Amino acid sequence: TGPSRCGDHFSRDPATKVVGCFSLSPPPRLCLGGCHEHTDNLPLPSQSRRRQMKVEYDKDEVVSPVKTEQWEPLDWRKQLGLIHEMRSGRDAPVDNMGAEKCYDTEAPAHVKRFQVLVSLMLSSQTKDQVTAAAMQKLRAHGCTVENILNTDDETLGKLIYPVGFWRNKVKYLKLTSAMLRNEFGGDIPNSVEGLVHLPGVGPKMAHLAMSIAWDQVSGIGVDTHVHRISNRLGWLRKPTKSPEETRKALEEWLPRELWRETNWLLVGFGQQVCLPVNPLCSVCLNQYFDIVFLSCCFVYQIKNIWSETKFKGFSFQFFN
């Protein structure tokens, strides 16, 4: 259509309707000359803004959370199976002289539990052979709460010598025995929280006491062997610097049904094959486990080579 006349001015009349925001009414006719007759009908700027729409979801619609895969070491089950094979003889010191073998099987239940706790306290920084010999002397003397309290420090020291830090352990045995008599009726606590409050008892001892004395799995008992081997095998997301860090890292991915066996399995493996110094890599079935990711023994050897190599003004550290 052509332009329509409005006085001396002209304006265009749209041929079709323009669809606006939620409106089908035609736009106002615009006068090219600024005629008030037509400009008075123009909408205000606020009226011509696009209306915001609110988006709502159906109540029945459930947004599924993003699933993240739990980290675990590559082929750790195969490594564990090979360690089981190497430990099939069960002839390591821990198998014959560990805390499970140091209590009197004929004693009352609460006395058995006390002797388990005592053997664990003596085992810190001490070889199983030395701990077993000390426990044998203590049991012959009378390893009960009352007997420990009635024994003078000098005699008690002679009975447990030469366990590591034996003087400190004499004090811990006396203090712990007093707490057990006064607060627990001569028995040991049945929780990790209660056990770690006893003088000289740490997390490793507490978890092992729960397993051996109370037959409850509360956590992994991580000592220096488990700590060392877990790092060597790459069973941790990142290297750890303490047994307690290792325990927490292992419990994040290791199935709970394997927690109980982890201690005796890796301790015996560490006593016979994966030694702290000069491990017997030549007889380890994990030696050539994975050529791509390197065996733990090879990594250990590389670490030793580099840690012993020092240059003037330069040092290389393989692991923190």
| Catalytically active residues, by annotation | 204
Among residues 246, 232, 240, 224, the alpha carbon closest in space to that of 287 is found at 232
**Dihedral sign of CA atoms 222, 223, 226, 232 in order:** positive
With a CB cutoff of 8 Å and minimum separation 6, the contacts of 259 are 217, 219, 220, 251
CB-count burial class (<10 Å; 0-12, 13-18, 19+) for 264: buried
User: Token pair for residue 163?
Assistant: 């366990």
With a CB cutoff of 8 Å and minimum separation 6, the contacts of 208 are 99, 120, 221, 263
The owner of tokens 């990594």 is: 299
User: Token pair for residue 49?
Assistant: 């803004």
